[in-house]
Amino acid sequence: MLRLFIREKTGIKIETVEDTSKPAEKKENILWVDLFIPTEEEIKWVEENFHIEFPSKQEMEEIEISSRYWEDEETITINAYFLIKEDENVFNETVTFILKGHTLITIRYRDLRTFREMVNRLLTNPRYYEDGYYIIAGIMEIRIDTDADTLEFITKEISKLSKIVFTGIDIT
């Protein structure tokens, strides 16, 4: 899915791109391009309209920790891990962020709570989010809160395990 978050006089409009044969209109008003499980056509559309080149999903995951941020004259690119907890499993999911001009472009392959919450914030208070830099800051703020909650949960679990190991008493 390819969604555009477009600034208008009265707020933010979300537009889903269905026809990738048509060029983007009013690119200067596009704050955020969100690619969620993108097709090859959607990736090509964004690359052509914004004059950028994306790494493949495999390349995104194989990038070394020390190479997850880079910038050139026109773009800032960040490949970030998002800690995901599903049922009893915890794993990392890579999300790519590209800032080009005032537009944020994201590529992700999972539905992440952080992004759903960011969309809600953006629609609730559109005047606060002037450009892609504000949006990426909002995403990172939400992510930090989510990670803090996860760490709190992990700390409680470690504390329970410590009591079991050192006292032999199961308090669960």
Question: How far is residue 165's CA from residue 160's CA, in Å, rounded to a whole number?
Answer: 9
134 phi/psi in degrees, rounded to 5? -65, -35
pLDDT at 65: 59
pLDDT at 63: 62
One DSSP character per residue, 13-55 reads: EEEE---TTSPPS-GGGEEEEEEES--HHHHHHHHHHHT--PP
State the DSSP H helix or E strand holding residue 158, giving kind and residue range, or none if neither.
Answer: helix 132-167
pLDDT at 53: 84
Give per-residue burial for 38-60: e unless 16+ CB within 10 Å, then b: beeebbebbeebbeeebeeeeeb
pLDDT at 164: 82
Report angle CA 79, 80, 86 to the nearest 5 degrees.
130
pLDDT at 101: 92
Sign of dihedral through CA atoms 22, 111, 120, 52? negative
pLDDT at 62: 67
| Higher pLDDT, residue 64 or 149 | 149
Question: What is the DSSP pairing of strand 103-108 with strand 30-36?
Answer: parallel
> Which tens digit of pLDDT belongs to each residue from 131-161?
999 999 999 999 998 888 778 877 888 888 8
Question: How far is residue 37's CA from residue 18's CA, in Å, rounded to a whole number?
Answer: 14
CATH numbers and ranges of domains, the chain = 2-167 (3.30.460.20)
- Residue 72, classed as helix, strand or coil, is coil
Q: What is the pTM of this model?
A: 0.84
Q: pLDDT tier at 67 (50, 70, 90 boundaries)? A: low
> Which tens digit of pLDDT belongs to each residue from 1-13?
999 999 998 899 9
Segment 155-169 shows an average pLDDT of 82
- Residue 171, classed as helix, strand or coil, is coil
